[in-house]
Amino acid sequence: MIYSLNFNTLPRLIMILLFCMIGIATEAQDEPATKPEIRPVPNTFESVWLIDNQTVMVPFKKTLEMDMLHRFGTIKNGYDDFWGLYAPSNIRIGFSYVPIDNLQVGFGFAKERLLWDFSAKYALIKQGRGGGSPLSVTYLVDMGIDTRDGDFHEEFSDRVSYFHQLMVARKLSDAFSLQSSLSVSHFNEQDLAFADNGELLGAMPADHFALAFLGRYVIVDGTNFIFNVDLPLTNDDLFGPEPNYGFGIEFTSSSHAFQIFLSNYQSLIPQYNNARNTYKAGDGEFLIGFNITRLWNY
């Protein structure tokens, strides 16, 4: 037998379904709770940034954040440019907001290539306290736009690049937290390499995969030792890129975080760091850098 739906009865069916759902929900609320509510582990990290990487942390709902990221020149020249402090530097100023629970959206502007970037980060899973998930999992996506004036690109789309990262972290103790991440960087336009005679040698891969590891150890309350390692999975004889090693000190309060460190990443947009880094740690091409974050809650 074939049944047909009379659309005149559809509102009635919807009302009946809603009343059934309300009844079920009311009964569930009347039943005594069999399990205590599992709360997330607090402060896996003290900031959304840790040296050159973002962490799994997403601030509370209605939090406005301002970031100031700064990288000086390399320390190789020593006193000549005061270990890079007076060398050309790279700066990024960014803002982000948490409109709903677990979602942070933001934008920033960097000195390098006059790059604007737009990002979104969502906390998929949070490590539970006294049960629940043993790990925190967060997903990050970023889009960068090269806004330099001039004939650097044939089409607007050539100016655009993307970054996707899946982060997994665990707070192992009150003092020690670790995070690992897998990322892919994509450039719509690829750099080209030429020989001295003008012969084309090859093009940079459009997609680049990388791993990142980072951690924090609490020295005393409000003062932490921090480190990160970035390892390229996509290697190319012509374009690299070089791995990154960073370590430093972090000072925190309820609304501020200040980090000062050494690392060999110079860019402040993740896809450029991961896919185009040319600074070699083995040659001592480390840079002094600092990150400052400030939080307001509205």
Residue spans of the domains in the chain: they are 13-297
What's at 143, amino acid-wise? M
End-to-end CA distance of the chain: 59
Average pLDDT over every residue of 131-154 = 90
pLDDT surpassing 60 at residue 216: yes
Dihedral Cα 221, 172, 58, 242, nearest 10 deg: 100
Tokens of 81: 């440019």
pLDDT surpassing 60 at residue 33: no
What CATH number belongs to 13-297? 2.40.160.40
Among 23-32, 54-63, 188-197, 198-207, the range with the most confident prediction by mean pLDDT is 54-63
84, with CB counted inside 10 A (0-12, 13-18, 19+), is buried
Q: Which residues pair with 253 in a beta bridge?
A: none
What per-residue confidence (pLDDT) applies to 116? 97
Query: What is the C-alpha separation between 277 and 232, in angstroms, rounded?
Result: 10
36 cis-preceded (ω within 30 degrees of 0)? no
Mean pLDDT estimate for the chain? 87
Quickly tell me which residue has 């309820």 as its tokens: 254
Tokens of 228: 């990160």
> Taking Cα atoms as reference points, which of 108, 66, 158, 78 lies closest to residue 267?
108
> Taking Cα atoms as reference points, which of 279, 176, 184 lies closest to residue 227?
176
For 193, other C-beta atoms within 10 Å of its C-beta total: 15
What per-residue confidence (pLDDT) applies to 236? 76
Model pLDDT for residues 80-109, shown as the tens digit of each residue: 999 999 999 999 999 999 999 999 999 999
